[in-house]
Each structure stands twice: as C-alpha cells, then as structure tokens.
Amino acid sequence: MAMAMSSRVLALFFFLLSCSYLGLSLYEDQVGLMDWHQRYIGKVKHAVFHTQKAGRKRVVVSTEENVIASLDLRHGEIFWRHVLGANDSIDEIDIALGKYVITLSSDGKIARAWNLADGQMVWESFLPGSLPSKSILFIPTNLKIGKEDFILVYSSGILYAVSSVDGEPFWKRDLVSEGFDARQLVYPRGRNVIQVLGFSSDTQFGVVEVNVNSGELLKHDKFAFPSGFSGDISFLSSDTAVALDSSREGLVSIRFSDGVISFQQAQISDLVQDFSGVAAILPYKLVEKVAVKTKKSVVFLEVTNKGSFVIVDNVDVTAVLSDSLPLSEGQQAIGLMQHEDGNIQLTVKLSSDWSSSLIKENIRIDSHRGKVQKLFLNNYIRTDRSSGFRALVVMEDHSLLLLQQGEIVWSREDGLASILEVTTSELPVEKDGVSVAKVEHSLFEWLKGHLLKLKGTLMLATPDDIGAIQKLRLQSSEKNKMTRDHNGFRKLIIVLTRAGKLFALHTGDGRIVWSVLLSSLRESETCKAPRVLNLLQWQVPHHHALDENPSIVVFGRCGSTLDAPGVYTTVDAYTGRELSSLGPFHSIAQIIPLPYTDSKEQRLHLVMDTEWRAHLYPRTTEALTIFHRELGNTYWYSVEADNGILRGHAAKGNCVLQVSDEYCFDTRNLWSIVFPPESEKIIATTNRRLNEVVHTQAKVVADQDVMYKYISKNLIFVATTTPKAVGGIGSVTPDESKLVVHLVDTITGRILHRMTHHGSQGPVHAVFSENWVVYHYFNLRAHRYEMSVIEIYDQSRADNKDVLKLVLGKHNLTSPISSYSRPEVVTKQQSYFFSHSVKAIAATSTAKGITSKQLLIGTISDQVLALDKRFLDPRRTLNPTQAEKEEGIIPLTDSLPIIPQSYVTHAYKVEGLRGIVTIPAKLESTTLVFVHGVDLFFTRLAPSKTYDSLTEDFSYALLLLTIVALVMAIFVTWILSERKELQEKWR
C-alpha cells in the first residue's frame, strides 16, 4: 500500500515537471516577448482635416507609399489605414457629405469612397481613358441630381459626374476631342453649368461650359496668347488666373467672364530685383494671391482690377506655404513657415490683410529632421471665441508633426516606412562599473512572481494574472539593455531610408536608439538632387571591441542619372555621429565590398565609375598595400539587365589619367555572356551572402553514402524570359513564354547549369544559400504559382564517400580548389506547386550553419511564412525507402503545404512588405528576423527548436521545488520500505 502511494506521489511530481516545459509553445501572454510590430504610413502628400464637434477629431492623409489613413489629431495614432497597390498612386483626396473619404488614384482612373468613421470601402469606380492628363477631384456643395449628391472627376481627358452613393457615373464628357487640357473645375453659384478651365493648346487659354444634368457641351471659349504658355497656372478666383509664359520669365494675368477672355503680361525682372534664370508658380491654392518661386526667393503677388501685378511680400526661397484656409468670417487664412536660427517660425496671415499676422510662433525642432517640406493648416475656436490654428508639418526626413500653440503636440517617424538598406551592429560590451543597475526585489515580490508563474504553468491564471505575468517577463527579460548579451539577441538594426536618414533600432523593443539625417545626402549647392545608394559595414573592431566603436558607410549620388557624382559618409554605429565624408567625386556605377580589412579592421571597398575604373576606399597607404598584394585574386561581375549582358572583371593596374591617382585602377573584361534581346531578357539575379557560414561540405545520405556540396561564393543565379513575357501575368500565352534559369561561375563565366521552364513567366523571386537555390515563378499552363529547387554537388570528391574515412580525416576536402579547373558537378532539381504569390524570399542563417534551414516567404497577404527546407528537397520521392525516411526525406507531393501555425508574423500584417533580413545570433539554434515595408516586424526563430538553451520563461523555482519534492518522496519511500521489510522479518 505504501509503495503504491509513493508511486502516485512520484507520478504527480513528474507530471508537474513536464508541465514546466509547456512554455515552449507561444501562449497569449507570451506575445511581445520576442517580437515587436510597428505601423507607419509614409511621407504625407495630401491631408484633409475633419474637426466637427460630433465625433473624434481626425486628419485624413495620403502618402507616397500609396497609403490612405485616418489619424487621431490628439495623439497621432492611426484610426484606420489602407495600403493600395504598388502602382496605385493616390492623386487626390477629399471628404464628401461629412462621412465619405473620396480618393482618386492611378492617374485618375480609379475613384473610391471610404467610410470616414471606420475606413470600410463603400464603392469603387473605374474611369477608363487613354490620354494622360492632370487628375482633378471636385466635390460641389449643395448640388444634387435626382436626390443624389455627385462628385466631378477629370481623368485622362474625360470629365465624369460620379454618384457619391454608389460610384456609378451619371454622365461623361470627352474633352480630348475638343483639344482641351483641363486645369480647374468651377461651379458658379446660381447657374446650372460646370466651368472647365484650362488650355486649348500651348498658345490658347480656354473655358468650357458643361451642363450639370446631362454633361452636354454648351460652350467652348478660347483666346490665343502669342507668347504661349509654359503650363504653370494658378487660379486666384472664379474669374482670374495667373500663368507663366513659354519663356518662364514673364507672368500673364488672365481674366475670363461671360465668354470674354483678356490677357495682360508683365516681365518678372520688372517686378523682382536681381531676377535671373527662370521662375515657377508654386502649386498652392491661394485665394487672391499667387506665389512665384525664383532662384533666391518666393514672391507673393496680387492682381489688380486692371490685370497688373503688385508685389505683396518677398520671403526666403526655403519658405513653405499652406493652401488657403476658409475662416468663419468669410476670410481666407494662409500659413507660412520659415527657418530661423535652428527654429521654425509659423506665421498665419489673412489673405485680404497681408500686413498683419493672426499668429506668429517659434518652434524648436530637432535639426536631424531637416527642413519643412509641406504644411497643412487647420483652425479651431478657442474658449475666448478667437481663432486658433494647428499645423500639420511634413519634414525633410519624412516625419510628421502636429504643431499647436508653439509646441509639438505629437510626432510620427514615418520615414521608417521607406527603408532601402538594412545592416546590423553589435552593442557595446558591458564593462565593470558601467553595467545597467540591477533592481533589488523584496522576498515578498520574489515569492509573488513565482506564484504567478506557477499559476500560469498550471493554467489557473486569470486574465489579470496573465497581464501581470507578461509585465514581469518584460521586466526580467533584460532584452532592452544597451549592452551585449551572451546569446547575441540584443543588437542594433541600422536602416537607411529613402530620405537619406539613418535609424538605429534596438532589437529588444524596436525603439529608436539614435537617428541622423546625413548632411552629405541633403540638397546643397555642391550636391543637387541627392539620392542614397548603399549602406555597408565599414569598420567592425572585433579585437578592439572595448576601445573602438564600429562604423558604417553610406554611399550616395548627387543626381538621378548614373553619371552623377558620388558621395560617401562614415557614421559611428553606437552614437550616430558622422565621422567623415567625402565628395562629390567620381560617378558610382557599382560598389564591391572586398574580403579584406586593414589593421584598424576597416573593410576595403572598390567603387566602379561609369568608365569602369575601380577606385579603392578607404584611401590609406595600408589599404593600398593590401590591395596590391591581393590584386591578382580580386574579381567581380556586373549585370546589365537592360542590355542582357553579364560581364566578369578584374583590376590590372593604376589608371592612366591626366591627374595621377594611386587609388584608381584600370580594369579588364575577363568574360561576357550576352543574352540575345530578341529571345531572352534578364528579369532576376541573386547570389550567396558573403558572410554565410556553412557548417560542413559533406552531406550523409541514405545507406551511409556521402554527397559533397558544391560550395562557391562565385556562383550567381540568373533568370531570363522571353521579351513578350516581361509584362504582367497572363499578358502572353503559354506558347509565347518560357523561363530559363542559369547557374553561372563569375570567375570564368562558365554556365554550370541551365534549366528551361516552358510556358512559365515571372516575376521571379529567388534565394541562394549554401549549394542550393529556390525560386518562385508562375506556370501559365497550370495557372498556378510554382517553386523550384536546384541543388549542386561536387563530383570531383566522389572518392571520399566512405563515412569512416570522412570521420578519420582521410579525405581531400582541404585540398585547394581553383575556379579555372573545370568542375565536375551534378545537379538535382524538383518543382512544386505553391498557392501564394510572393513578394520576397529569404533563408534563415545561424552562427555556425548547423541548424536546419527554413525559407521565409513574404506572401501577397503581407505576412511571412516559415517553410522547412526539407519540403523543397529535390530527392523527395513518392515512396521513400526506410533509410530515406530515417534521413528525414518527406514523401513527394505536388504542392507545398501552408501550415497556419508556421506564419512568423502571427496575426500581424507587414503592410507593403518589401524585404526580409535574417541575422544570426550567437546562440546556434536561433536566428533573428527583421521584416520591413510600410510596417516593421521583428522576431526570433528557432528552426530546429531551442535545442541548446532553456527558454527565458523557464521556471527554475518550480524545477527546484520538484527536485526537493522528489528527494523527499524518495526518502519517505525508503523509510516506508525499510519499515515494511522489518515487519515482514518479525513475522
């Protein structure tokens, strides 16, 4: 009886011990411990305020990332948001009837209505047209047809009247046949017509009148102006406009009323002193005023009753205006923002009284936000019944700020929605005496915490307890410290945005550690129209980690053309301080990081210019010595996708220039592969990561056989298709399209493998890792997406198939390999159907390359799916042998599985997903994953589970309690057993 009882006690404690491992699964209270998700909208280009007394105060915005969103005016939070397609750029937005948000996109071809309160789409209307033109959205007030309000849309040369209830067009009027280019729509009160204002030709201004009810063309008045127009025009009122003449040196006032059109011209040089060059009319909607931008200033002009011009004000050329804002008294207010000594000054003026200011405020703004680029003004009524103003400001770094009463109410770092490049940096080593302070807990708090964890383990926790457990875990995880951890989970993710701004994000919670708007990539006299190119590691001081900070380098170009001069800047990875910059210098066509570092552990780089000369950086004597020593082993390749040419290059000696430059080297072409433009066009290329670690070259397969991976960092994957198939899916028939993939050695130019997929087309997304490449494409014959895998093996080591020989080290794996010796390779390949469209593909990477690989697939639903590489094993068969099953070969199926639990992003969506970056941790089982698009997402993955560590929420207290209880149970059992044995002896 005693033995049975002791057995039950043991069973109970073993059950409790097993329960302590349930934390390996992801429960509700674990969300946010290892991942974070941030939502953004991008750089705002349109904004409409909705500040009626009823309901929440909000501002509806559209952005350059094709996002339409509603933001809370109090805190800047997103009420709702929609991300349109990559090619569905938003042209105009407005609010109709106080409850619909109307958007016009795709060059005016698509009109949509969204519910203002919750963002649900009410209707969508396609407005076809073939002639590109300016898109105009016009919402008349107090205008109805058949008890239904309507909106006017001018798109592709056609004027539409569209119902605001269901989006159905009432009528349309083709103005292309009239040779008319509309610029403004006007509804004259008291008349049943719509006036369309614009140009009938380069030398003619015209006014077209259209019947509101039927769309019938009533009248087309036009009058020629001999000097012609440049296209810039601003409408000051319903009967007055100002345009630039064809020389862009003169202003033309245009009066139109009752079919009579009159012009009066004035030279800008007669109005503005020291005027030179050409001018531009700023595209602001200013009532009674026109803003003209010259080389040095912005000039405000009024048009008198006689059509002449009068200068009202002259401000700095960097000043930014808002559109006219109607006030309750019938007045129009205009916001003006200027930079002054590190501050920005906001001035609000009445359009009718420019000499006085309604408000004038100075606001201190971080210099790393750059200059103001857009200003949207809104008014409100103060408690004393006077007018107050709030300003929504878009900065140079794409951030969004709300200013009110001289203060920043809130700000949003929406530049993070346009990340172009990503790299990482280790955090500083924790030093003695500089470590983060440790929080002392009382005994009661310690016991309370472990009691809560015990309740969570036994699934007895209430919702409040779950929240308390999650808070305790976040406090005790130490994931937010600014020092390295022994597992390598804490790092800095350094990102470069389209605005030329660098951000350092902490992997613990995604907070911004530092940010800097690079001065060398801002518009200046020496660098016009700057554009960022690459973000690369510059210095990673492994051996001097306690003494020196790592640094990164950013390359850019001063212009949009390939031959524009280049610049570069080095930045401290810990502080964001700009260390040095150089440029403008030669053009930048390609940047090649070399596998060499100097004594300061600065990485050497070759920068190719458009003349195919190689320039060495850093420009130091030591770097030059290293490069001369390795000159014969330096190779690289280039891809000219437009011309269909692959080339291999090598350096041959110093440049032959008029000015001697010892850091410049001439190059020679080693080989070239030309794809005939009439039959093949390059649509995708990819190669292995330079820092990828491969654990072993040998792969032990069934029956103790050994296959050797062909590991080479000089391989490139190239995908080509027929020229007709470059368009969208379904643009060609299966017989007209084929997809051809190649594996090319970039040292010799040899094509090691070539495969043709007949009846298939792109887009192609591929990932290259170790000795395999996986690529995704569309099969036109099967009407489904496919994923194919190619694995390449080295047959020259076929005599090393003995596993015992491999273990004892009696093999030739360490013998030198030359790319110039023709490799004996064999490939294995297989194709599978895949039910999703793909935006990006990446492969997990770990510190030693031991852990199994997973494919991270960014799907069309903006989520990331983790797919075990074993599903894409080309050796899968319908009926694998017992030995193959033991090896882990999965039976062959025609489709790849999509397991809902395998979504890395859980229930989150990374809207506008563009890239997936994997980062090895020091812990071999774990890889860090960073996903970016309009949103950001970060998490940790363990493809083979955490076989080398315990989880952070492992209950050591429960384990200790279990061990103590087991020892006590053993002791009690031993006593009972001895007592029973003694009783049996007495019998």
CATH number for the domain that contains residue 96: 2.130.10.10
Give the β-pairing of 530-539 and 372-381: unpaired
Taking the CA atoms of residue 816, residue 821, residue 822 and residue 824 in that order, the dihedral angle to the nearest 10 degrees is -20
For 889, the token pair is: 């070969």
Strands (E), 526-620: 530-539, 551-558, 565-572, 578-587, 590-597, 603-608, 614-617
pLDDT of amino acid 21 = 33
Check: CB of residue 792 under 8 Å from CB of residue 743. yes
pLDDT of amino acid 741 = 95
pLDDT of amino acid 477 = 57
Please indicate, yes or no, whether residues 871 and 798 belong to a single structural domain of this protein.
yes
Distances (CA, A) of 466 to 460, 462, 538: 10, 6, 45
Structural domain includes residue 969:
yes
Q: Cis omega before residue 943 (within 30°)?
A: no
Structural domain includes residue 828:
yes
Question: How far is the C-alpha of 297 from the C-alpha of 303, rounded, in Å?
Answer: 19
pLDDT of amino acid 679 = 87
Q: Tokens 């009823």 identify what position?
A: 54
Please indicate, yes or no, whether residues 629 and 732 belong to a single structural domain of this protein.
no
Please indicate, yes or no, whether residues 573 and 465 belong to a single structural domain of this protein.
no
Chain-centroid distance of CA 576 in Å reads: 21
Question: How far is the C-alpha of 827 from the C-alpha of 282, rounded, in Å?
Answer: 61
Q: Which of 674, 707, 723 is the last residue of a domain?
A: 674
Q: Which of 201, 224, 247 is the last residue of a domain?
A: 224
Residue 877's closest CA among 887, 865, 863? 887
Q: How many CA atoms lie within 13 A of 143 on its CB side?
A: 24
Please give the backbone phi and psi of residue 884, each rounded to the nearest 5 degrees, phi first: -70, -35
Question: How far is the C-alpha of 523 from the C-alpha of 755, rounded, in Å?
Answer: 47
Question: How far is the C-alpha of 933 from the C-alpha of 860, rounded, in Å?
Answer: 12
Please indicate, yes or no, whether residues 55 and 13 belong to a single structural domain of this protein.
no
Cα–Cα–Cα angle for 766, 770, 775, nearest 5°? 15
Please indicate, yes or no, whether residues 22 and 46 belong to a single structural domain of this protein.
no
Residue 619's closest CA among 633, 605, 638? 605
Chain-centroid distance of CA 578 in Å reads: 24
Question: How far is the C-alpha of 187 from the C-alpha of 194, rounded, in Å?
Answer: 5
Please indicate, yes or no, whether residues 756 and 859 belong to a single structural domain of this protein.
yes
Structural domain includes residue 799:
yes
pLDDT of amino acid 19 = 41
Please give the backbone phi and psi of residue 313, each rounded to the nearest 5 degrees, phi first: -155, 160
Residue 66's closest CA among 49, 82, 47, 48? 82
Percentage of residues of the chain with pLDDT beyond 70: 88
Structural domain includes residue 978:
yes
- The per-residue pLDDT for range 669-700, each reduced to its tens digit, is 999 999 988 889 999 999 998 888 888 887 87
Residues in the chain where the model's pLDDT stays below 70: 1-32, 53-55, 142-148, 431-450, 453, 456-460, 470-478, 545-546, 658-659, 702-704, 797-821, 951-953
Please indicate, yes or no, whether residues 11 and 98 belong to a single structural domain of this protein.
no
Q: How many C-beta neighbours within 10 Å does residue 857 have? A: 28
Residue 154's closest CA among 100, 104, 88, 206? 104
Structural domain includes residue 601:
yes
Give me the domain span that covers residue 984.
957-987
Please indicate, yes or no, whether residues 872 and 756 belong to a single structural domain of this protein.
yes
Q: Tokens 């005939």 identify what position?
A: 676
Please indicate, yes or no, whether residues 633 and 762 belong to a single structural domain of this protein.
no
Helix (H, G, I), strand (E, B) or coil at 2: helix
Question: How far is the C-alpha of 775 from the C-alpha of 741, rounded, in Å?
Answer: 9
Structural domain includes residue 158:
yes
The number of domains in the chain is 5
Q: Which of 674, 707, 740 is the last residue of a domain?
A: 674
For 352, the token pair is: 């009718």
- Angle separating helix axes 2-19 and 956-986, nearest 10 degrees: 170
Q: What is the CA radius of gyration of the chain?
A: 34
Please indicate, yes or no, whether residues 717 and 793 belong to a single structural domain of this protein.
yes
What lies within 8 Å, CB to CB, of 432 at 6+ separation is none
Q: To the nearest 5 percent, what fractions of the chain are helix, strand and coil?
A: 15, 45, 40
**Across the strands, what pairs with 938?**
36, 930
Chain-centroid distance of CA 760 in Å reads: 29
Residue 676's closest CA among 612, 737, 617, 720? 720
List the helix and strand counts (H, then E) for the chain: 8, 65
Structural domain includes residue 464:
yes
Check: CB of residue 670 under 8 Å from CB of residue 648. yes
Question: How far is the C-alpha of 350 from the C-alpha of 332, rounded, in Å?
Answer: 6
What lies within 8 Å, CB to CB, of 522 at 6+ separation is 370, 396, 500, 530
Q: How many C-beta neighbours within 10 Å does residue 212 have? A: 20
Cα–Cα–Cα angle for 786, 787, 789, nearest 5°? 145
Please indicate, yes or no, whether residues 836 and 865 belong to a single structural domain of this protein.
yes
Please indicate, yes or no, whether residues 111 and 203 belong to a single structural domain of this protein.
yes
For 501, the token pair is: 């701004």
Give the β-pairing of 772-779 and 645-654: unpaired
Check: CB of residue 321 under 8 Å from CB of residue 300. no
Q: How many CA atoms lie within 13 A of 880 on its CB side?
A: 20
For 460, the token pair is: 């007895």
pLDDT of amino acid 148 = 63
Check: CB of residue 429 under 8 Å from CB of residue 545. yes
Q: How many C-beta neighbours within 10 Å does residue 328 have? A: 9
Question: How far is the C-alpha of 856 from the C-alpha of 905, rounded, in Å?
Answer: 11
Structural domain includes residue 577:
yes
pLDDT of amino acid 311 = 87
What lies within 8 Å, CB to CB, of 646 at 6+ separation is 637, 638, 639, 640, 672, 673, 716, 718, 744, 749
Please give the backbone phi and psi of residue 7, each rounded to the nearest 5 degrees, phi first: -65, -40
Helix (H, G, I), strand (E, B) or coil at 410: strand
Taking the CA atoms of residue 686, residue 691, residue 693 and residue 697 in that order, the dihedral angle to the nearest 10 degrees is 60
DSSP per-residue codes, 6-17: HHHHHHHHHHHH
